[in-house]
A = this chain, B = another copy of it.
Protein backbone atom coordinates (compact mmCIF):
# COMPACT_ATOMS: atom_id res chain seq x y z
CA UNK A 1 0.00 0.00 0.00
CA UNK A 2 1.15 3.53 -0.74
CA UNK A 3 -0.32 5.42 2.26
CA UNK A 4 -1.20 8.19 -0.19
CA UNK A 5 -4.77 9.19 -1.02
CA UNK A 6 -5.80 9.38 -4.68
CA UNK A 7 -8.51 11.48 -6.33
CA UNK A 8 -10.98 8.69 -5.55
CA UNK A 9 -9.91 7.91 -2.00
CA UNK A 10 -9.12 11.39 -0.61
CA UNK A 11 -11.77 12.20 2.01
CA UNK A 12 -13.84 15.21 1.02
CA UNK A 13 -15.55 15.45 4.39
CA UNK A 14 -14.94 14.06 7.89
CA UNK A 15 -11.16 14.16 7.38
CA UNK A 16 -10.68 13.04 10.97
CA UNK A 17 -12.23 9.68 10.06
CA UNK A 18 -10.01 8.80 7.07
CA UNK A 19 -6.91 6.57 7.26
CA UNK A 20 -4.67 5.38 4.47
CA UNK A 21 -2.13 3.19 6.31
CA UNK A 22 -1.83 -0.53 5.62
CA UNK A 23 -2.15 -1.55 9.26
CA UNK A 24 -5.57 0.07 9.63
CA UNK A 25 -6.89 -1.09 6.25
CA UNK A 26 -5.67 -4.66 6.82
CA UNK A 27 -7.20 -4.90 10.31
CA UNK A 28 -10.65 -3.86 9.05
CA UNK A 29 -10.58 -6.20 6.05
CA UNK A 30 -9.53 -9.08 8.33
CA UNK A 31 -12.36 -8.35 10.77
CA UNK A 32 -15.16 -8.27 8.20
CA UNK A 33 -15.46 -10.81 5.37
CA UNK A 34 -18.76 -9.33 4.13
CA UNK A 35 -18.40 -6.85 1.32
CA UNK A 36 -20.15 -5.53 -1.75
CA UNK A 37 -18.38 -5.48 -5.10
CA UNK A 38 -19.79 -2.70 -7.28
CA UNK A 39 -19.35 -2.83 -11.05
CA UNK A 40 -21.01 -1.29 -14.08
CA UNK A 41 -22.88 -2.92 -16.96
CA UNK A 42 -24.27 -0.61 -19.66
CA UNK A 43 -24.02 2.37 -17.34
CA UNK A 44 -26.01 0.70 -14.54
CA UNK A 45 -24.35 -0.04 -11.20
CA UNK A 46 -24.58 -3.51 -9.62
CA UNK A 47 -23.30 -4.19 -6.12
CA UNK A 48 -23.98 -7.74 -4.94
CA UNK A 49 -23.00 -8.69 -1.39
CA UNK A 50 -20.27 -11.33 -1.20
CA UNK A 51 -17.23 -12.31 0.90
CA UNK A 52 -13.63 -11.12 0.63
CA UNK A 53 -10.38 -12.29 2.18
CA UNK A 54 -6.93 -10.71 2.33
CA UNK A 55 -3.40 -12.01 1.82
CA UNK A 56 -0.74 -9.30 2.13
CA UNK A 57 -1.69 -6.30 -0.02
CA UNK A 58 -4.22 -8.23 -2.10
CA UNK A 59 -7.85 -9.05 -1.52
CA UNK A 60 -9.71 -11.94 -3.09
CA UNK A 61 -13.28 -12.96 -3.71
CA UNK A 62 -14.80 -15.93 -5.46
CA UNK A 63 -17.92 -17.53 -6.82
CA UNK A 64 -19.14 -19.93 -9.43
CA UNK A 65 -17.34 -19.97 -12.78
CA UNK A 66 -20.85 -19.58 -14.27
CA UNK A 67 -21.56 -16.37 -12.33
CA UNK A 68 -22.36 -13.38 -14.51
CA UNK A 69 -21.20 -10.99 -11.81
CA UNK A 70 -17.74 -12.51 -11.63
CA UNK A 71 -17.37 -12.52 -15.41
CA UNK A 72 -18.51 -8.90 -15.61
CA UNK A 73 -16.29 -7.57 -12.88
CA UNK A 74 -13.04 -9.19 -14.07
CA UNK A 75 -10.73 -6.70 -15.77
CA UNK A 76 -13.20 -3.87 -15.14
CA UNK A 77 -13.25 -1.02 -12.66
CA UNK A 78 -14.82 -2.14 -9.41
CA UNK A 79 -15.41 -0.65 -5.98
CA UNK A 80 -15.20 -3.03 -3.01
CA UNK A 81 -16.82 -1.83 0.23
CA UNK A 82 -16.52 -3.33 3.71
CA UNK A 83 -18.19 -2.04 6.87
CA UNK A 84 -18.44 -2.96 10.55
CA UNK A 85 -21.19 -1.37 12.63
CA UNK A 86 -19.57 -0.81 16.06
CA UNK A 87 -22.02 1.35 17.98
CA UNK A 88 -24.96 3.71 18.10
CA UNK A 89 -24.05 7.26 19.10
CA UNK A 90 -27.04 8.77 20.92
CA UNK A 91 -26.87 12.56 21.12
CA UNK A 92 -29.06 15.09 22.93
CA UNK A 93 -30.16 16.58 19.59
CA UNK A 94 -31.68 14.48 16.80
CA UNK A 95 -29.21 15.95 14.30
CA UNK A 96 -26.09 14.84 16.19
CA UNK A 97 -27.02 11.17 16.38
CA UNK A 98 -24.37 9.10 14.64
CA UNK A 99 -22.80 5.68 14.51
CA UNK A 100 -19.43 4.25 15.32
CA UNK A 101 -18.06 2.14 12.49
CA UNK A 102 -15.00 0.93 10.61
CA UNK A 103 -15.08 0.82 6.82
CA UNK A 104 -12.76 0.27 3.87
CA UNK A 105 -13.43 1.21 0.26
CA UNK A 106 -11.09 -0.11 -2.46
CA UNK A 107 -10.98 1.00 -6.11
CA UNK A 108 -9.27 -0.72 -9.00
CA UNK A 109 -9.42 -3.62 -11.42
CA UNK A 110 -9.84 -7.23 -10.43
CA UNK A 111 -7.89 -9.86 -12.27
CA UNK A 112 -8.66 -13.58 -12.42
CA UNK A 113 -6.60 -16.20 -10.61
CA UNK A 114 -6.23 -18.79 -13.37
CA UNK A 115 -3.71 -21.53 -12.53
CA UNK A 116 -5.20 -24.46 -10.62
CA UNK A 117 -2.31 -24.42 -8.14
CA UNK A 118 -2.88 -20.72 -7.39
CA UNK A 119 -6.62 -21.30 -7.00
CA UNK A 120 -5.91 -24.09 -4.54
CA UNK A 121 -3.65 -21.83 -2.47
CA UNK A 122 -6.20 -18.99 -2.52
CA UNK A 123 -9.14 -21.18 -1.49
CA UNK A 124 -7.12 -22.73 1.34
CA UNK A 125 -6.23 -19.24 2.55
CA UNK A 126 -9.92 -18.28 2.47
CA UNK A 127 -10.94 -21.29 4.55
CA UNK A 128 -8.11 -20.57 6.99
CA UNK A 129 -9.55 -17.05 7.49
CA UNK A 130 -13.05 -18.45 8.08
CA UNK A 131 -11.86 -21.10 10.51
CA UNK A 132 -8.18 -21.43 11.44
CA UNK A 133 -7.09 -25.07 11.20
CA UNK A 134 -10.06 -26.14 9.08
CA UNK A 135 -7.89 -27.11 6.10
CA UNK A 136 -6.34 -29.86 8.19
CA UNK A 137 -9.67 -31.67 8.58
CA UNK A 138 -12.00 -30.71 5.69
CA UNK A 139 -11.75 -32.58 2.40
CA UNK A 140 -9.71 -30.35 0.02
CA UNK A 141 -11.29 -29.21 -3.26
CA UNK A 142 -10.90 -31.61 -6.18
CA UNK A 143 -10.11 -30.59 -9.77
CA UNK A 144 -13.79 -30.29 -10.77
CA UNK A 145 -14.58 -28.09 -7.76
CA UNK A 146 -11.61 -25.84 -8.52
CA UNK A 147 -12.64 -25.62 -12.17
CA UNK A 148 -16.13 -24.60 -11.07
CA UNK A 149 -14.75 -21.79 -8.91
CA UNK A 150 -13.77 -18.39 -10.27
CA UNK A 151 -11.38 -16.41 -8.07
CA UNK A 152 -10.62 -12.73 -8.54
CA UNK A 153 -8.06 -10.56 -6.81
CA UNK A 154 -7.36 -6.86 -6.55
CA UNK A 155 -4.34 -5.06 -5.12
CA UNK A 156 -4.85 -2.68 -2.20
CA UNK A 157 -3.26 0.07 -4.28
CA UNK A 158 -6.14 2.52 -3.93
CA UNK A 159 -7.90 2.07 -0.60
CA UNK A 160 -9.25 4.24 2.17
CA UNK A 161 -10.34 3.27 5.67
CA UNK A 162 -12.81 5.32 7.67
CA UNK A 163 -13.24 5.00 11.41
CA UNK A 164 -15.52 6.71 13.87
CA UNK A 165 -14.84 5.37 17.35
CA UNK A 166 -15.61 8.18 19.77
CA UNK A 167 -18.46 9.66 21.78
CA UNK A 168 -21.24 12.17 21.26
CA UNK A 169 -20.55 15.48 19.51
CA UNK A 170 -23.46 17.59 20.77
CA UNK A 171 -23.56 21.35 20.28
CA UNK A 172 -22.44 23.30 23.37
CA UNK A 173 -25.98 24.73 23.65
CA UNK A 174 -27.47 21.25 23.99
CA UNK A 175 -25.19 19.83 26.67
CA UNK A 176 -27.58 20.58 29.53
CA UNK A 177 -30.71 19.12 27.92
CA UNK A 178 -32.34 16.47 30.15
CA UNK A 179 -31.60 13.57 27.79
CA UNK A 180 -29.40 10.47 28.04
CA UNK A 181 -26.41 10.74 25.70
CA UNK A 182 -23.71 8.22 25.05
CA UNK A 183 -22.69 5.21 22.99
CA UNK A 184 -24.33 1.78 22.78
CA UNK A 185 -21.65 -0.63 21.50
CA UNK A 186 -22.55 -3.39 19.03
CA UNK A 187 -20.61 -6.57 18.29
CA UNK A 188 -21.17 -9.59 16.09
CA UNK A 189 -21.24 -12.60 18.39
CA UNK A 190 -21.10 -16.32 17.73
CA UNK A 191 -23.88 -18.38 19.30
CA UNK A 192 -24.01 -22.06 20.20
CA UNK A 193 -22.68 -24.29 17.42
CA UNK A 194 -25.42 -26.48 15.87
CA UNK A 195 -23.91 -29.83 14.79
CA UNK A 196 -25.31 -31.98 11.98
CA UNK A 197 -26.21 -35.55 12.84
CA UNK A 198 -23.06 -37.62 13.33
CA UNK A 199 -20.84 -34.63 14.14
CA UNK A 200 -21.13 -34.61 17.89
CA UNK A 201 -17.90 -36.54 18.44
CA UNK A 202 -15.63 -34.24 16.44
CA UNK A 203 -14.09 -30.94 17.60
CA UNK A 204 -16.16 -27.82 16.84
CA UNK A 205 -14.32 -25.66 14.26
CA UNK A 206 -12.38 -22.66 15.51
CA UNK A 207 -13.61 -19.15 14.73
CA UNK A 208 -11.73 -16.30 13.11
CA UNK A 209 -9.77 -14.02 15.42
CA UNK A 210 -12.33 -11.23 15.02
CA UNK A 211 -15.02 -13.44 16.58
CA UNK A 212 -12.96 -15.57 18.98
CA UNK A 213 -12.79 -13.04 21.73
CA UNK A 214 -16.55 -12.70 21.83
CA UNK A 215 -17.29 -16.39 22.11
CA UNK A 216 -18.16 -17.60 25.60
Contacts and interface: CB of A to CB of B under 8 A. Distances in A.
Copies of this chain in the oligomer: 2
A142 B123 CA distance: 53
B38 A47 contact: yes
A162 to B, nearest CB: 8
B45 A77 contact: yes
A103 interface: yes
Nearest to A104: B49
B184 A187 contact: no
A177 B180 CA distance: 55
Interface of A: 8, 12-13, 33-34, 36, 38-40, 43-49, 51, 64, 66-68, 77-83, 85, 88, 90-95, 97, 99, 101, 103, 105, 107, 123-124, 127, 130-131, 134-135, 137-142, 145, 149, 167-168, 174-196, 198-199, 202-205, 207, 211
